[in-house]
Structure 1
Amino acid sequence: MKDQALFDKIDLHLIRVLNTVLTERSVSRAAMRLGMYQPAVSAALKRLRELAGDPILVRSGAGMVPTDAGLRMIEPSASILRASSMLFSNAKGFEPATAETTFRLAASDYLDPLFLPQLVAQIKKQAPRCHIEIHPLTAESDYRAHLAQGQVDIVIGNWAAPPDDLHMGRLFGDEVVCLVAKDHPAVRRGWSAAHVANWLEAEHIAPMATHPGAKGVIDEHLDTLGLQRNITVRCPHFGLMPSMVASSLLIMTTGRQYCERFAGLLPVKILPCPIEFPRMMYYQLWHERTHASNAAKWLRERVKSVATSLRKE
């Protein structure tokens, strides 16, 4: 019999009966597990034996055991059933307690330092079998291409104007402030609109670009005003910048929520900016490719949930 003719005689129901009979090693137990009458399972087994040209399951004492051919069929039949369940898994919905998928996200470390730890904790609590990959946003990474190609599912960060070719979900907005050491001269004299020149000329620390061509929301806004600050330190590790500020005269300009996480841990002080900045807006972005995916929707809901909970603290 030609392979195609053989395949035409096999349906998914037969594969399920085959795998169940082989793993249960009993027609009666297989019938109970499948919710079928025993004669129907026996008829399906007879058909499988004819197709295979092998008994598949034979008697041994009081029970039954697979033949060599039957043993070889256990894993392939299980693999077919796993693959078939994945084909239309999105139509069935996403069950986090039993799902075994991998979530891939790219995130800026400009986020609240508690954000990613709480997100990972929530995902692992609700979807313990799922895996998580966290990718950095760097100047070398093209997050648009990564979203389109499936290398990441969502990108989380802050943009003054998010790209309009992607789906977007707003997470939260934050006031822009300055973080300085407690003994910084500005702590004593303060800053006001009259001190803009002094603020621009002071030494600033800023992050490296997170994607090609990016200047960051602070410097993009200064550009619109025709202003430029004196950046003397560039650092790719945003989480280390508050410690650098604490032991120097550097000024770090970013969101208040981020700064407040360090105010009680380091000898630093939060000051208002002498320049009025728009609120720093954080978003999650995703591609049309995953827009209808139930698993991706669940992930985006977790991201939004964590962002909301942090804003209430």
Structure 2
Amino acid sequence: MKYMSMFDKIDLHLIRVLHTVLTERSVSRAALRLGMYQPAVSAALKRLRELAGDPLLVRSGSGMVPTVAGLRMIEPAADILRSAEVLFSDARSFDPATARHRFSLAASDYLDPLFLPQLVAQIKSQAPHCLIDIHPLSRDSDYRNHLAQGDVDVVIGNWSQPPEDLHLGRLFGDEVVCLVSQQHPAARRGWDVEAWLGAEHIAPTPTHPGARGFIDDHLAALGLARNITARCPHFGLIPAMVAGSLLVLTTGRQYCDRFTGVLPVKVLPSPVEFPRMMYYQLWHERTHAAKAGRWLREQIKSVAASLKRPDADH
């Protein structure tokens, strides 16, 4: 109750006067900066002194200086004013050049390996004061809940059937191929379905217990199962594992093609026909109309388009 009665006596305008008086160290200069009459600023300062139980600003020679209590209030007052501005600014407009916003997204690393680096570079070049948090789509992630609670703004990944309770934007489709070492027997003589199923496969660690993923879901629908002998939660490390072994990675061509020039690997067609892998960005209704959220989704879409192979959607 004590704090409630204090809140009843303080409004945002009073905090603004407090911060301006303490930083200008002058009632007259504060009045000019605030566009107020000096007696009104003096009256507000009197209220502030009564609330604080401290003079806040005292005379020193020909000028004025904040008291110890006044000095302690400068930064908290600034924080309150910044928070109040952020509270409503995103609803009105979003200027990336000046915005101080925190973007949070969860992304699958099955995407083109250049996607996240280029997205971060583009965001930082256009919105230099914004913060970026990138979260993995791990086996422990409940992305629906994270989106609903505001922990994450956007989720990026591939789904054969994206959830219907979220907004979605299609990024690109990709052909399913296989990545093998240049020393793999199939790199020289090819393979059929039986040889491919019997080969040693490496696959990402499931996002949650029982999850099969896009490749194995399709195989199960055909009554087939491949021989997975290795799993790794870090998709970006798998091509190097493939390069030094007889393991087979089956995923999108756009991802695999990025490694053929830097590792001794080769892209082979899959002997099993797969539908195209479809990549989406998902977001919740709570951020659907937000200007900052809309801007972020536009950046994601433009980066995906810039990295897309010319034939990736055909």
TM-score clears 0.5: yes
Q: Could you say what secondary structure the match of 1:305 adopts?
A: helix
Aligned match of 1:43: 40
Please tell me whether the aligned partners of residues 17 and 41 of structure 1 are also in contact (alpha carbons under 8 angstroms): no
State the shift of 1:97 in Å. Answer: 2.9
Q: Could you say what secondary structure the match of 2:96 adopts?
A: coil
| Whole-angstrom CA distance in 2 between matches of 1:80 and 1:16 | 9
Q: Which amino acid aligns with 1:149?
A: Q
Match of 1:279 among 276, 279, 288: 276
Aligned match of 1:149: 149
State the shift of 1:144 in Å. Answer: 1.7
Instruction: Single out whichever of 229-238 and 70-79 deviates more from structure 2.
Output: 70-79
| Whole-angstrom CA distance in 2 between matches of 1:83 and 1:174 | 43
Please tell me whether the aligned partners of residues 103 and 131 of structure 2 are also in contact (alpha carbons under 8 angstroms): yes
State the shift of 1:270 in Å. Answer: 1.0
| Whole-angstrom CA distance in 1 between matches of 2:48 and 2:26 | 20
The 5 A counterparts of 1:23-38 are 23-34=23-34, 36=35
The structure 1 segments of at least 4 consecutive aligned residues displaced by more than 6 Å after TM superposition are 2-6
Q: Residues 46 and 179 (structure 1 numbering): CA distance in 2 closer, same or farther, change over 3 Å?
A: same
Q: Residues 6 and 141 (structure 1 numbering): CA distance in 2 closer, same or farther, change over 3 Å?
A: closer
Match of 1:267 among 264, 280, 294: 264
Asked if 1:179 is matched to 2:176, the reply is no
Instruction: Single out whichever of 301-310 and 66-75 deviates more from structure 2.
Output: 66-75
Q: Residues 6 and 51 (structure 1 numbering): CA distance in 2 closer, same or farther, change over 3 Å?
A: farther
| Whole-angstrom CA distance in 2 between matches of 1:265 and 1:222 | 30
Q: Which amino acid aligns with 1:273?
A: S
| Whole-angstrom CA distance in 2 between matches of 1:185 and 1:72 | 72
Q: Percent identity, aligned pairs only?
A: 71
The 5 A counterparts of 1:181-196 are 181-191=181-191, 195-196=192-193
The 5 A counterparts of 1:1-313 are 8=8, 10-34=10-34, 36=35, 40-50=37-47, 52-53=49-50, 56-68=56-68, 70-191=70-191, 195-311=192-308
State the shift of 1:51 in Å. Answer: 5.4
Unaligned runs of 5+ in 1: none
Q: Residues 209 and 58 (structure 1 numbering): CA distance in 2 closer, same or farther, change over 3 Å?
A: same
Q: Residues 178 and 50 (structure 1 numbering): CA distance in 2 closer, same or farther, change over 3 Å?
A: closer
Q: Which amino acid aligns with 1:285?
A: L
Unaligned runs of 5+ in 2: none
Q: Residues 290 and 21 (structure 1 numbering): CA distance in 2 closer, same or farther, change over 3 Å?
A: same
Scaled by the length of structure 1, the TM-score of the pair is 0.87
Q: CA RMSD in A?
A: 2.5
Q: Which amino acid aligns with 2:196?
A: W
Q: Deviations over 1:124-174 (max 9, x none)?
A: 222223322222222222222222223322211111111111121111111
| Whole-angstrom CA distance in 2 between matches of 1:247 and 1:13 | 66
Q: Which amino acid aligns with 2:78?
A: A
